[in-house]
Amino acid sequence: MFFSELKAEIKSKTTEWSFTNFLSSYIVGMFDYEGVPVDNYGLRLLEQYMLLTGKAAIFWNDKFDRWTAGKVSFTGSFLNEYGLLEDCECFDKAGHEFKFKDWANNEKCFVFFNDRSHNPDINILRYADLMAKIDISLNANIVNSRMSPIVVCKDANTANQVREILKKNHDGATEVITSSNLLTEDDDITVVNITDVNASDKIQYLSHAHDDLLRRFLNIYGLHISGTGKMAQQSIEEIKGTNNVALVVPYEMLNSRKDTLERFAAVTGISCDIKLSKAWEREDKEADAQTDTLTAEADEAEATADTAEAEADIAEVQAEAAEDGELEEPGEDLQSTDESAEQEREVKEEEEKKEDE
């Protein structure tokens, strides 16, 4: 079945679902796990569950006798001081259920949180909803911008002749007719336009809005995507500086995962780690390089200011000396001192020659 054949409601939901997966695929690839005894598909599920529900778990799956990544929900009757239930239930992709007591200290269940505030990632769903709406509007404008005039004829005979003419007209042929039905009165044939070809410019605006949304979404997670949406009052330095600000979210997510992974390594004795993936590492290095450049420029500017201040102090001293009559003009004291010293050396050399003779 083609997408165009789906019912409107199903088409709308399918579009939003596809954008949710599309945006999730960006963020799921933010981290690289090292040494974790779960395959790559399981680690991607772990990330996806964390993003969409705020939490996920790596737990010991006794049905398959290995570590598994899956969904988690808290259960029990006791709430701690932060409002969290003490026990949990974990589910693998196949729907098998596993119950664990005291999940915070359990040695067979390790709960991961999307961030250290235990919040899900609402941005994926929010931006997926907006992008789906733009996609639907884009589709509507594409349809409505077609040139689709409706020919209204007075009788069936005239309508048949118009159909034949239009068929041949598509091939660029000139049609010659002898019937007078098409030429009798002005209202025998009329054309009604229910579409607007001028609506095509809205397609460009919607497409640009789509790109802007994706750019804004990725900027949240440290992927600084520049574009034509830069506001006139922003400087280049301000735009570059947003890299460092945007990396706050990835590092918050990274540290939250590190907290659980460190407990996992300590309990199981399995050496493992997590780091930013290559795309985010490149952004991080570029941000550091920009920071170093700005720091060097600031140091150079400070050194230039210090030099200018020192020169101003020397000029002030020279000006005061000139006023006291020690110098004819400011700036001549160093030259005069050098000339006097040279004359003294010449006189001393002549005296030494006479003594030698």
Domain boundary among 210, 230, 250: 230
Percent of all residues in the chain with a pLDDT value above 90, rounded to a whole number: 36
What's the residue count for the chain? 357
229: pLDDT confidence band, cut at 50, 70 and 90? Answer: very low
Domain count, the chain: 2
* pLDDT > 50? residue 272: yes
> Does any domain span residue 311?
no
Residue 57 β-bridge partners: 70, 111
pLDDT score of 232: 42
Any idea what the Cα angle at residue 147 is, between residues 168 and 6, rounded to 5°? 105
pLDDT score of 287: 54
Q: Which of 27-31, 161-165, 171-175 bottoms out in mean pLDDT, i.e. has the lowest?
A: 171-175
Q: What is the pLDDT of residues 280-333, one digit of tens each?
A: 877 666 555 555 555 566 667 777 777 777 777 777 767 776 666 655 444 445
pLDDT score of 136: 87
Domain boundary among 230, 264, 297: 230
pLDDT score of 233: 42
First-to-final CA distance of the chain: 120
pLDDT score of 321: 67
**Average pLDDT of the residues of the chain:** 80
Domain boundary among 184, 213, 230: 230
In angstroms, the CA 184 to CA 41 distance is 74
> Does any domain span residue 324?
yes
> Does any domain span residue 342?
yes
pLDDT score of 188: 67
pLDDT score of 85: 94
> Does any domain span residue 89?
no
> Does any domain span residue 350?
yes
> Does any domain span residue 42?
no
Q: Is 236 helix (H, G, I), strand (E, B) or coil?
A: helix
Residue 181: CA count within 13 A, CB half-sphere: 12
Alpha helices of the chain — where are they, by DSSP H? Answer: 8-28, 40-53, 122-144, 156-169, 200-220, 236-246, 248-268, 278-323, 333-356
Average pLDDT over residues 260-271: 96
DSSP per residue, 73-114: EEEEEEE-TTS-EEEEEEE-TT--EEEESSTTT-SSEEEEES
In angstroms, the CA 201 to CA 147 distance is 14
Domain shared by 127 and 226, yes or no: yes
The residues near 277 (Cβ < 8 Å, ≥ 6 apart) are 29, 30, 31, 32
> Does any domain span residue 294?
no
The more confidently predicted of residues 243 and 276 is 276
Q: Which of 114-128, 156-170, 180-194 bottoms out in mean pLDDT, i.e. has the lowest?
A: 180-194
pLDDT score of 180: 59
* pLDDT > 70? residue 243: no
> Does any domain span residue 334?
yes
Structural domain boundaries enclosing 332 = 319-356
pLDDT score of 302: 73
pTM, to two decimals = 0.63
pLDDT score of 231: 42
